[in-house]
Amino acid sequence: MNSKRPIKERATKYTEQLTEDFSDFLNSNRVGHIDIDVDLEMSTPFPSLNNGSKSLSVPLVDPETVSDLVSVLLPELDGEELSVNSNIIFEKQALLIIEATIYAVLQCLTSLLQQYFPKSEDYEEAFKKALSRIKPLIDSLVMDEEIFLGTQVSESTKAEFNEIVKYINKEEE
């Protein structure tokens, strides 16, 4: 899958239905969860709340289970189509984790900053500013298959390395 595109834009003609079916699967089956614990502490020179914490659990299903589910829901898919659709559904779980974590952080901040009476627009503006500062880092972490293949060691470099190792081994003998 092309990981240059945001998760929400990674889709096939089956993605919408698979997303609904996957959501039903999560709601009707016992699946693993990841725990998200957010603890924010603020030091202020005047009396106020100085600690906020929130704990959440988010369902998380391994890639093999997702692939098995997709193959049951869409038995007509061949290997490549099955793989692409399974990857999309698996990757969409990251959106749940992002949403839950941001929710937890906002819950903590709301408690800590209640005496300032911030509104949702204040949080939105601050979030956009923070996101714009970290966006280059987030986007640089994307590992595209083309980039990955481009960073592989070439055969000539491997051969040169092997020659160096042989030379070192001869010197040690």
Residue 157 has pLDDT above 70, yes or no: no
Its domain, for residue 131, covers 7-140
Q: Quick check: is 145 in a domain?
A: no
In percent, the amount of the chain with pLDDT more than 90 equals 62
Q: Quick check: is 150 in a domain?
A: no
Q: Quick check: is 161 in a domain?
A: no
Q: Quick check: is 129 in a domain?
A: yes
Domains identified in the chain, total number: 1
Tokens of 107: 């819950």
Please compute the mean of the pLDDT values over residues 124-133 and round it to a whole number.
94
Q: Quick check: is 1 in a domain?
A: no
Write down the number of H helices and E strands in the chain.
Answer: 6, 2
Residue 152 has pLDDT above 90, yes or no: no
Given this model, what pLDDT does residue 153 score? 52
Q: Quick check: is 17 in a domain?
A: yes
Given this model, what pLDDT does residue 58 score? 95
Residue 29 has pLDDT above 80, yes or no: yes
Residue 138 has pLDDT above 50, yes or no: yes
Q: Quick check: is 104 in a domain?
A: yes
Given this model, what pLDDT does residue 148 score? 45
Q: Quick check: is 156 in a domain?
A: no
Please compute the mean of the pLDDT values over residues 144-152 and round it to a whole number.
48
* Residue 12 neighbours by CB distance under 10 Å: 13
Please compute the mean of the pLDDT values over residues 64-91 and round it to a whole number.
94
